[in-house]
């Protein structure tokens, strides 16, 4: 099937041109829609590796078109899964790679959750890529390719229905993220990168151990098939299976930044260059996503009429709930202690992960629905905060981007450095201080969860869901609410302090320099935040249906396993 | 054979964990490599340990007399990936040594 796909898609012309002929050509491609978010960025990235570093305009155009194509593709995916399926069964797209049948071949599965995550990645990726064009893309080699490969790994991880395939995509996105974290080099980045790589290599091994254990007792790697087979395991095998799933989830909780596994996160995220850190915000959500996926597949009754037949949900939810609360508290204390905006944004990421994990720990359909809404809002909020951190910091001390002498003499870097002086894409827009201030307030409102923006709607939804839900692990529901209120309060204090320091402090007043490209990308993220608040009705309906679909994964399993090749 | 394999994996993994927790970057990378070996052997043994049986299905063989080919292909993938990751880590390790002037994982000596 990949071979057939090669015709219309392969070659740089096809990739670059994807943004253009949407009307005519993509309709023929519609059965191949699920593979596009993976294959388009990888082809564009591979092609850009062939180009010389100095043709950065061409690279910027190819990269921009690719991220735009990803945005369009993900919108089409969302539209497809929103369409009415047969007999009211939710629409789930299954793409069989190489046309091999489900339990044996590798499948890509697009349900509402996967489509939503791909869309979030695409929006954030598009904004961050645009932002990077202002200056960051050229301070080190091969930024564009690495960036697209990271997006490809994320999309693959969201779309795949196969556990080992997930490992491969996980490694692809990690490898790209190592390169991106080290992008622009410098002592701080290399130090943070060293620890980041070590912890991720270790967690990949936990992932492999988990996969191995699960395979050894079920003989399958397909997620839907795993859920079905695990329901019929004997007690001895079931213990191994549960151990496997627990070890696997630990690997992803490390990625999501659950408290004791999250000490690497603030340093790494604060050290990364702003556009990279913004995309990293969605990387933590990948860990959260896989945790939710494992949880919900295990929760289905698999036709036996008993919910949670394997006891995996009962095993994981208390850990998620308690771990989530601890993460929220850790993130809040960290947010209070951080002086710089990148660090504050990194701790906001941790708080966001903690809130999501605690919400998943309740294993309640309503709470999970509200938490998915929170996931979208907080991801964009954190992304905008990371992007804002640089222009705001530039206002105080206009220091050039750090380009430190590389360890290994690279002609390219030294050449670039001279070119970098005064390089700026777009015009520096006037009135930028007011604009920056406004954007800062909006992103703070989303993250803190104050009305009238999406963060408030989401947090309110989670809290009311938690309180209405009786059977939450006894007595912890009030603790969840208290932790969330505390985190909002801590973030409010931290953001207000940072805002006063950045905008109201007297002293030499330098006009902030924001290039139009940066302003547009930050504005894009924040307007999405505002849009999902204004269109809260449709977006909440989509998300409610998503959580309903997750609560009854029969549709997912049937779509994956039901069809004969 | 199972016992020997289990003890071997356990020893390699334990040495790996100990080395990963050491303060020098070189110890960490050797520790990660040892952990990789242990995990790869573990993954291979998850398809049941069998000697002298082919993993390739032919018309004449019955399925019970075969070794499971899936873990073997998984191990192959994971070897390739972890090998390349180790190489990448090595580069970062050297860069960190060059930039910070020390091979301590924190980039600075703690006991001075």
Give per-residue pLDDT as tens, B1-29: 889 999 999 999 999 999 999 989 999 99
The verdict on a CB contact (< 8 Å) between A407 and B98 is yes
| Min distance A173 CA to chain B CA atoms (Å) | 12
Among the ranges given (A389-398, A405-414, A458-467), the one the predictor scored with the smallest mean pLDDT: A405-414
Closest residue of chain B to A163, computed from CA coordinates: B74
To test the contact with chain B by mutation, choose from A149, A189, A196, A216 the residue with the greatest count of B C-beta atoms within 10 A, namely: A216
**C-alpha dist (Å) from residue A241 to A134, A164, A228, A229, A281:** 49, 16, 13, 11, 31
Closest residue of chain A to B69, computed from CA coordinates: A219
**What's the rounded Cα separation, in Å, for the pair A420 and A485?**
45
User: What is the mean pLDDT of the segment spanning A488-502?
Assistant: 89
Q: Among the residues of A257-364, which ranges form H helices?
A: 264-271, 274-299, 312-337, 341-361
Tell whether A78 is covered by a domain. Answer: yes
Judge whether residue B58 has pLDDT over 90: no
Tell whether A563 is covered by a domain. Answer: no
To test the contact with chain A by mutation, choose from B38, B46, B106 the residue with the greatest count of A C-beta atoms within 10 A, namely: B46
* C-alpha radius of gyration, chain A, whole number: 23
Residues of B in contact with A221 (CB under 8 A): 70
Domain of A342 in residue numbering reads as: 2-396+427-550
To test the contact with chain A by mutation, choose from B6, B73, B92, B104 the residue with the greatest count of A C-beta atoms within 10 A, namely: B92
Q: Return mean pLDDT, chain A.
A: 81
3-state secondary structure of A54: coil
What pLDDT does residue A490 have? 93
Q: What is the domain partition of chain B in residue ranges?
A: 2-50+67-100
pLDDT band, residue A158 (cuts 50/70/90): very high
What pLDDT does residue A288 have? 93
Residues with Cβ within 8 Å of A500's Cβ and at least 6 positions away in sequence, in order, are: none
What pLDDT does residue A474 have? 62
CB-count exposure of residue A265 (10 Å: 0-12, 13-18, 19+): buried
Neighbours of A480 (CB within 10 A): 26
**What's the rounded Cα separation, in Å, for the pair A141 and A374?**
35
pLDDT band, residue A301 (cuts 50/70/90): low
A167 shares contact with chain B (CB less than 8 Å): yes
Query: Prior bond to A452 cis, omega within 30?
Result: yes
Domains in chain A: how many in total? 1
User: What is the mean pLDDT of the segment spanning A265-288?
Assistant: 90
User: What is the mean pLDDT of the segment spanning A316-322?
Assistant: 88
B100 shares contact with chain A (CB less than 8 Å): yes
What pLDDT does residue A125 have? 93
What pLDDT does residue A170 have? 92
| Min distance B47 CA to chain A CA atoms (Å) | 6
Closest residue of chain A to B68, computed from CA coordinates: A219
User: What is the mean pLDDT of the segment spanning A548-552?
Assistant: 79
What pLDDT does residue A395 have? 61
Tell whether A422 is covered by a domain. Answer: no
| Min distance A195 CA to chain B CA atoms (Å) | 7
User: What is the mean pLDDT of the segment spanning A37-54?
Assistant: 89
Residues of A in contact with B100 (CB under 8 A): 187, 190-191
Say how far residue A308 (Cα) sits from the centre of its chain: 27
B75 shares contact with chain A (CB less than 8 Å): no
Tell whether A406 is covered by a domain. Answer: no
Q: Which two tokens stand for residue A565?
A: 């090749």
ipTM higher than threshold 0.90: yes
Q: What are phi and psi of A92, to 5 degrees?
A: -125, 120
The verdict on a CB contact (< 8 Å) between A198 and B39 is no
Judge whether residue A53 has pLDDT over 90: no
| Min distance B5 CA to chain A CA atoms (Å) | 15
Residues of A in contact with B35 (CB under 8 A): 202, 205
pLDDT band, residue A29 (cuts 50/70/90): low
What pLDDT does residue B112 have? 53
8-state DSSP, B46: T
Neighbours of A101 (CB within 10 A): 14
Residues 406..465 of A with a Cβ closer than 8 Å to B: which?
Answer: 407-408
pLDDT band, residue A3 (cuts 50/70/90): very low
Residues 67..96 of A with a Cβ closer than 8 Å to B: which?
Answer: none
pLDDT band, residue A24 (cuts 50/70/90): very low
Class of domain B2-50+67-100: mainly alpha
**What's the rounded Cα separation, in Å, for the pair A205 and A191?**
22
| Min distance A330 CA to chain B CA atoms (Å) | 22
Q: H or E element: which one contains A96?
A: strand A93-96
pLDDT band, residue A232 (cuts 50/70/90): confident
The verdict on a CB contact (< 8 Å) between B32 and A202 is yes
Q: Is the dihedral of CA A548, A550, A552, A557 positive or negative?
A: positive
User: What is the mean pLDDT of the segment spanning A401-423?
Assistant: 45
Tell whether A562 is covered by a domain. Answer: no
Residues with Cβ within 8 Å of A533's Cβ and at least 6 positions away in sequence, in order, are: A452, A453, A454, A457
| Min distance B36 CA to chain A CA atoms (Å) | 7
**Residue that the structure tokens 């590798």 belong to:** A106
Global pTM?
A: 0.86
A369 shares contact with chain B (CB less than 8 Å): no
Which residue has better confidence, A402 or B102? B102
Tell whether A557 is covered by a domain. Answer: no
Residues of A in contact with B71 (CB under 8 A): 212, 215
Tens-place pLDDT, residues A430-471: 677 788 888 888 999 998 988 888 888 889 888 888 888 765
């Amino acid at each position: 099937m990949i071979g057939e796909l090669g015709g219309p898609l392969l070659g740089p012309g096809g990739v670059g041109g994807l943004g253009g002929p949407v009307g005519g050509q993509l309709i023929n491609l519609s059965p191949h829609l699920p593979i596009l978010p993976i294959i388009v960025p990888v082809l564009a990235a591979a092609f850009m590796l062939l180009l010389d570093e100095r043709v950065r305009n061409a690279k910027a155009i190819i990269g921009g078109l690719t991220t735009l194509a990803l945005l369009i593709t993900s919108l089409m995916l969302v539209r497809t899964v929103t369409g009415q399926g047969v007999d009211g069964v939710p629409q789930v797209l299954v793409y069989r790679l190489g046309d091999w049948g489900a339990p044996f071949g590798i499948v890509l599965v697009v349900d509402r959750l996967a489509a939503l995550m791909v869309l979030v990645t695409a929006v954030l990726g598009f904004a961050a890529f645009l932002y990077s064009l202002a200056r960051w893309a050229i301070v080190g080699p091969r930024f564009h390719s690495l960036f697209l490969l990271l997006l490809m790994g994320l999309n693959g991880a969201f779309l795949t229905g196969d556990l080992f395939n997930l490992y491969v995509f996980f490694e692809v996105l990690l490898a790209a993220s190592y390169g991106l974290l080290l992008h622009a080099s410098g002592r701080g980045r290399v130090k943070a990168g060293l620890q980041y790589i070590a912890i991720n290599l270790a967690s990949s091994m936990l992932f492999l151990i988990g996969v191995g254990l699960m395979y050894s007792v079920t003989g399958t790697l397909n997620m839907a098939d795993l859920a079905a087979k695990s329901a019929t395991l004997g007690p001895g095998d079931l213990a191994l299976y549960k151990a496997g799933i627990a070890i696997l989830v630990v690997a992803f909780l490390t990625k999501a930044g659950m408290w004791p596994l999250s000490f690497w996160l603030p340093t790494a995220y604060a050290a990364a260059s702003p556009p990279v850190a913004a995309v990293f915000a969605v990387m933590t959500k990948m860990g959260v996503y896989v945790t939710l996926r494992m949880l919900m597949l295990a929760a289905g009754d698999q036709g036996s009429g008993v919910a949670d037949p394997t006891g995996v949900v009962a095993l994981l939810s208390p850990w998620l709930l308690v771990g989530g609360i601890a993460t929220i508290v850790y993130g809040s204390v960290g947010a209070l202690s951080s002086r710089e905006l990148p660090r504050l944004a990194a701790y906001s990421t941790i708080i966001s992960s903690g809130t999501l994990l605690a919400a998943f720990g309740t294993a309640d359909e309503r709470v999970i629905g509200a938490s998915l809404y929170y996931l979208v809002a907080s991801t964009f909020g954190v992304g905008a905060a990371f992007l804002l951190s640089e222009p705001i910091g530039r206002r105080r001390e206009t220091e050039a981007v750090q380009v430190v002498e590389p360890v290994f003499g690279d002609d390219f870097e030294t050449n670039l450095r001279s070119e970098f002086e005064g390089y700026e894409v777009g015009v520096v827009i006037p009135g930028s201080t007011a604009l920056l201030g406004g954007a800062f307030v909006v992103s703070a409102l989303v993250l803190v969860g104050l009305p009238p923006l999406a963060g408030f709607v989401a947090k309110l939804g989670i809290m009311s869901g938690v309180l209405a839900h009786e059977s939450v692990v006894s007595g912890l529901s009030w603790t969840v609410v208290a932790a969330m209120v505390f985190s909002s309060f801590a973030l409010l204090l931290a953001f207000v302090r940072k805002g006063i320091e950045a905008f109201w402090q007297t002293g030499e007043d330098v006009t902030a320099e924001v290039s139009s490209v940066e302003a547009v990308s930050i504005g894009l993220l924040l307007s999405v935040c505002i849009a999902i608040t204004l269109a809260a009705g449709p977006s909440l309906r989509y998300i409610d249906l998503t959580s309903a679909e997750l609560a009854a994964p029969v549709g997912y399993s049937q779509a994956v396993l039901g069809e004969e090749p | 054979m199972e016992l020997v394999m289990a003890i071997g994996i356990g020893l390699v993994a334990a040495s790996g964990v100990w080395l990963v927790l050491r303060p020098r970057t070189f110890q960490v990378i050797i520790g990660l490599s040892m952990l990789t070996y242990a995990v790869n052997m573990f993954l291979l043994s998850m398809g049941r340990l069998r000697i002298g049986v082919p993993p390739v299905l032919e018309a004449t063989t019955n399925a019970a007399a075969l070794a499971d080919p899936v873990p073997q292909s998984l191990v192959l993938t994971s070897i390739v990936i972890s090998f390349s990751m180790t190489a990448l880590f090595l580069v970062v390790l050297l860069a960190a040594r060059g930039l910070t002037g020390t091979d301590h994982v924190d980039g600075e000596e703690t006991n001075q």
